[in-house]
């Protein structure tokens, strides 16, 4: 019995040790950026054998700045992450964009070493911002060893921006940037964030502790007052598991007062910030073997006032004492004391102490929907304005160029009220995302190269009072919604735009009575003949496939009459396709042909088959959608043909065909590598996010598959085939759909079961696409024991062999971490439960991380065959499209 008990205890302790070791070795969620490290160098790399921390180049996290190295003589004195730097000679504010977990505490550290990189011998001074709020002022003047700033901060969104702001003539720079997610319940305070003042453990050793001994990579500096304190230590294991989890090495030593009758005292002077308020985290553990009659008990005082106690430290186990509310010091002079109680036989001890000052971030970030929209517009028009970094509206002196915002009070999110993009070289159509700036009052898009029509949604924007569209290449007519509303509308300088009633309606002409009579008689004869012809034709066949007799076809002309894209005649379609000479493909709609417009612009022409029963509806849906959206990752509509029975859609031509043929290598398609696949996945995700977020009302594609992702000459991805697209209610709601639509294998099982349509249906289909890109397996394989790709991949994942999952055509040329991360994302998207799927915005963030991981992949990782991956699996039968 006794032996079994000892065996149980041994197994328990071993499991705890293994669990702790796994936690220590994990860098999950860590971001470690070597700022200025060229992307073509080995990245990530081990910072040192001691820490094993993986540092990567910062190039994919920021869009501006230049790179340099510190002086060569200094390079040998400092660790590798501090030997390169990024500096910012252009723009007032330059920002890093990091993906974080909203609502979770994060340790953020920024490190700065001037190192005379520019040969001027004078370090810079500048401000460091966290989002819209000032975090610290960095002053490197005369500071040869550099400095660092560290904060514990809880982000209010899943995006975090860390910005360097120029305040004078000197140029901001940064050496390293680090982010670590903290424990869920650690360092929780009433309000604000915690700026590190000091973090020390008490030992006569001159070493400092960080990762992997500290699982959160906090830096612990040794400190000791030899005249006042005596060190005690232990070689025994000290339990360090609580919400703060300090390193056990910091608990293995402690300081006690040399004079056992005196209190243990620690004082500091913070007179340069006398109004500072503090949080203290004092870590205690009894590490001495006490005699039977020994007692160690003491009270804790702060500035002479009772802080906590009496406390008896636990034997070889941590106790952490924290103040529940912030404390201040008189004039910045602070005192922390431990005083023994009357019954204590031993002096007090302290193993480690953390002290933070509270920093308030009062400025609210710009309304999140406005931020998403303005960034969508930025991406759609590929704007690279250097001052469009950080928060769009705050602080006010750093507001983006061309914006004005409303400011109610400091705690209310600002709203964008004015947007001036005049003379910025915009091309394409007027972005549909603009309508999501619901507080916009003034819009200036003048003197650009915008084409297409003036969208009707501008007239439905209730706050909009001034619109300047002059000096573009817009065509069509002014929508009725923009007329008679008291808007200040400027449209001059658009030669093809109809601005008066006379050009929209042909002038009436007077004709002699005889001509009128003759015309009426002739028309009557023609109508009589036509009626007889239709009667005879109906007798011959009761089923007519022509579009002109489809229910609702009488409204087709009204639907497309005012559309702004170019309308072609059927004869023009015949000419542009060289009499339908070259076939590009075939779908449910009909044949797709190669063509050219104006003799040089290549196009793809999709012609409706007369046997297509759903063709008209899909045609109308596709034109409706593509004429009001514009995004670099959606196929552009050049024009359309609607003439009698003839329907055709004319698109931009994408010479590299669809993604499916490049995965399989069929049809002359090349096998694309892993990094290109990730980029294509990201670009397709950006297009989907635009449909879900940038459109109003939001749209769901309903037919996302590899065959509907087309590639241009540079393999840039664009989503195509919007015939099944439908609008849905935003805000997480869904909309009833009477007919289930989608492609076999890609169809969302929840949508198929309930008939309720939402954007997560596209997320499921995207997950299947991503699985295809990872595995190059068919979505449906009826000869397999597991016919659906999610079932097959789920079975392979359980075996833990990444080589069995990955496309063998890739030849193991991929970073193993990137591959696992993408696979986990794909399975998360393809979760049978829509509530457990990520949004497309979250998918984009994760794909960016995959790309960063791949671009900086460790050569030693390539070829590893197994790692653990946390993927929720469901191998239920996947429904087919009806």
Q: Are 84 and 37 in contact (CB under 8 A)?
A: yes
H/E run at residue 415: strand 415-420
Does the annotation mark 308 as catalytic?
Answer: no
Site of tokens 């102490």 = 353
> Cβ–Cβ contacts within 10 Å for residue 393, how many?
28
Site of tokens 């005699």 = 291
Handedness of CA 605, 611, 616, 617 (dihedral sign): negative
Q: Are 313 and 319 in contact (CB under 8 A)?
A: yes
- How many Å apart are CA 536 and CA 540, to the nearest integer? 7
* Whether residue 44 has a cis bond before it, omega within 30° of 0: yes
Q: Which two tokens stand for residue 98?
A: 């990091």
Going from the C-alpha of 656 to that of each of 6, 249, 365, 631, the distances in angstroms are 67, 59, 42, 19
- How many Å apart are CA 797 and CA 794, to the nearest integer? 5
> Please, where are the H alpha helices in 728-839?
749-754, 759-775, 789-798, 802-805, 816-829
Could you write out the DSSP letters of every residue in 325-389?
S-EE-GGGEEEEEEEE-TT-SS---B-EEEEEEEE---PPPP-HHHHHHHHHHHHHTT---TT--
Give the bridge partners for 347, in sequence order: none
Site of tokens 């003589």 = 73
Q: Are 688 and 839 in contact (CB under 8 A)?
A: no
Short-list 104, 126, 106, CA closest to 114: 126
Q: Which value, to the nearest 10 degrees, does the dihedral of the CA atoms of residues 163, 166, 170, 175 take?
A: 0
- How many Å apart are CA 619 and CA 723, to the nearest integer? 6
Contacts of 243 (CB under 8 A, 6+ apart): 183, 185, 186, 320
User: For residue 72, how many C-alpha atoms fall within 13 Å in the half-sphere facing its CB?
Assistant: 0
- Parallel, antiparallel, or unpaired: how do β-strands 31-34 and 176-181 relate? antiparallel
- How many Å apart are CA 469 and CA 812, to the nearest integer? 53
Going from the C-alpha of 126 to that of each of 164, 303, 642, the distances in angstroms are 7, 34, 61
Q: Given the residues 703, 762, 807, 815, select the one marked as catalytic.
A: 703
Residue 538 is assigned to a ligand binding site: no
What interhelical angle do 674-689 and 759-775 show, nearest 10? 170
Phi-psi region of 131 (alpha: psi -120 to 50; beta: other; left: phi over 0): left
Q: Are 564 and 476 in contact (CB under 8 A)?
A: yes
Helix, strand, coil share of the chain (percent; to 5): 25, 25, 45
Short-list 139, 146, 144, 148, CA closest to 170: 139
- How many Å apart are CA 408 and CA 414, to the nearest integer? 7
Short-list 230, 223, 227, CA closest to 205: 223
With helix as H, strand as E and coil as C, how does 116-165 read? Answer: CCCCCCCCCEEEEEECCEEEEEEECCCCCCCEEEEEEECCCCCEEEEEEE
Report the largest interatomic distance among the alpha carbons of the chain, rounded to a whole angstrom: 131
Question: What is the arrangement of strands in the sheet containing 298-302, beginning at the earlier edge strand?
Answer: 264-269, 333-340, 298-302, 305-311
Known binding-site residues for ATP equal 606
Known catalytic residues? 703
């Amino acid at each position: 019995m006794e032996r079994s008990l000892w065996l149980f205890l041994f197994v328990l302790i071993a499991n705890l040790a293994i669990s702790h070791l796994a936690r220590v070795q994990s860098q999950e969620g860590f971001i470690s950026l070597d700022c200025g490290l060229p992307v073509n160098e080995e990245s990530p790399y081990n910072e040192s054998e001691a820490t094993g921390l993986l540092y990567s180049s910062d190039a994919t996290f920021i869009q501006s700045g230049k790179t340099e190295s510190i002086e060569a003589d200094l390079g040998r004195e400092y660790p590798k992450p501090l030997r390169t730097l990024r500096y910012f000679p252009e723009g007032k504010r330059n920002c890093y964009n990091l993906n974080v977990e909203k609502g979770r505490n994060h340790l953020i550290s920024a490190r700065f070493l001037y190192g005379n990189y520019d040969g001027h011998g004078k370090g810079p001074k500048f401000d460091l911002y966290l989002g819209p709020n000032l975090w610290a002022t960095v002053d490197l003047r005369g500071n040869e060893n550099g400095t660092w700033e560290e904060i514990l901060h809880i982000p209010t969104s899943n995006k975090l921006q860390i910005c360097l702001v120029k305040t004078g003539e000197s140029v901001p720079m940064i050496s390293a940037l680090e982010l670590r997610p903290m424990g869920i319940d650690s360092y929780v305070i009433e309000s604000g964030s915690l700026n590190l003042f000091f973090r020390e453990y008490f030992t006569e050793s001159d070493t400092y502790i960080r990762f992997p001994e500290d699982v959160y990579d906090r830096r612990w500096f040794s400190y000791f007052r030899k005249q006042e304190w005596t060190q005690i230590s232990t070689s025994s294991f000290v339990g360090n598991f609580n919400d703060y989890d300090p390193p056990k090495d910091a608990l293995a030593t402690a300081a006690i007062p040399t004079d056992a009758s005196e209190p243990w005292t620690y004082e500091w002077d913070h007179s340069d910030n006398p109004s500072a308020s503090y949080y203290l985290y004092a870590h205690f553990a009894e590490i001495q073997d006490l005699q039977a009659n020994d007692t160690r008990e003491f009270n804790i005082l702060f500035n002479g006032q009772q802080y906590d106690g009496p406390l008896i430290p636990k034997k070889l186990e941590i106790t952490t004492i924290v103040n529940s509310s912030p404390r201040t010091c008189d004039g910045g002079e602070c005192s922390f004391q431990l005083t023994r109680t009357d019954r204590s036989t031993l002096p007090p001890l302290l193993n480690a102490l953390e002290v933070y000052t509270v920093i308030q971030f009062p400025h609210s970030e710009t309304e999140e929907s406005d931020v998403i929209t303005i960034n969508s517009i930025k991406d759609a028009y590929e704007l690279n304005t250097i001052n469009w970094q950080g928060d769009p509206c705050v602080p006010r002196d750093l507001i983006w160029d061309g914006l004005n915002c409303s400011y109610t009070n400091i705690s209310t999110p600002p709203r964008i009220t004015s947007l001036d993009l005049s003379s910025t070289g915009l091309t394409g159509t007027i972005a549909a995302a603009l309508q999501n700036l619901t507080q916009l009052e003034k819009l200036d898009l003048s003197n650009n190269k915008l084409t297409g029509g003036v969208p009707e949604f501008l007239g439905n924007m209730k706050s909009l009072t001034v619109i300047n569209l002059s000096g573009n290449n817009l065509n069509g007519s002014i929508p009725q919604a923009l007329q008679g509303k008291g808007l200040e509308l400027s449209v001059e300088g658009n030669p093809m735009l109809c601005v008066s009633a006379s050009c929209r309606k042909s002038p009436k002409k007077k004709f002699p009575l005889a001509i009128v009579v003759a015309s009426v008689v002739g028309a009557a004869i023609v109508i009589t003949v036509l009626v007889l012809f239709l009667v005879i034709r109906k007798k011959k066949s009761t089923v007519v496939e022509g579009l002109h007799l489809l229910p609702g076809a009488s409204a087709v002309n009204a639907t497309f009459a005012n559309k702004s894209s170019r309308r072609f005649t059927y004869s023009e379609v015949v000419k542009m396709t060289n009499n339908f000479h070259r076939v590009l493909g075939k779908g449910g709609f009909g044949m797709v042909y190669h063509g050219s417009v104006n003799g040089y612009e290549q196009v793809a022409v999709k012609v409706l088959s007369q046997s297509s029963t759903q063709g008209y509806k899909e045609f109308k849906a596709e034109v409706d959608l593509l004429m009001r959206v514009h995004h670099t990752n959606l196929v552009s509509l050049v024009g359309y043909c609607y003439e009698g029975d003839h329907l055709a859609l004319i698109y931009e031509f994408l010479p590299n065909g669809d993604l499916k043929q490049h995965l399989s290598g069929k049809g002359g398609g090349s096998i694309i590598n892993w990094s290109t696949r990730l980029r294509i996945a990201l670009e397709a995700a950006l297009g989907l996010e635009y449909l879900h977020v940038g459109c109003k009302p939001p749209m769901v594609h309903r037919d996302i598959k590899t065959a509907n992702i087309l590639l241009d000459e540079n393999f840039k991805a664009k989503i195509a085939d919007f015939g099944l697209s439908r609008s849905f209610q935003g805000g997480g709601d869904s909309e009833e759909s009477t007919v289930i639509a989608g492609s076999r294998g890609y169809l969302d099982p929840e949508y198929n079961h309930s008939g309720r349509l939402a954007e997560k249906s596209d997320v499921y289909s995207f997950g299947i696409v991503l699985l295809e890109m990872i595995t190059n397996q068919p979505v449906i394989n009826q000869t397999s024991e597991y016919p659906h790709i999610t079932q097959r991949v789920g079975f392979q994942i359980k075996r833990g062999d990444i080589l069995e999952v990955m496309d063998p055509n890739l030849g193991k040329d991929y970073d193993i971490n990137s591959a696992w991360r993408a696979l986990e994302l794909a399975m998360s998207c393809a979760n049978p439960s829509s509530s457990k799927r990520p949004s497309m915005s979250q998918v984009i963030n994760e794909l960016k991380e995959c790309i960063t991981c791949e671009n900086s992949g460790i050569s030693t990782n390539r070829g590893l065959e197994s790692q653990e991956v946390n993927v929720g699996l469901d191998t239920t039968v996947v429904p087919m499209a009806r």
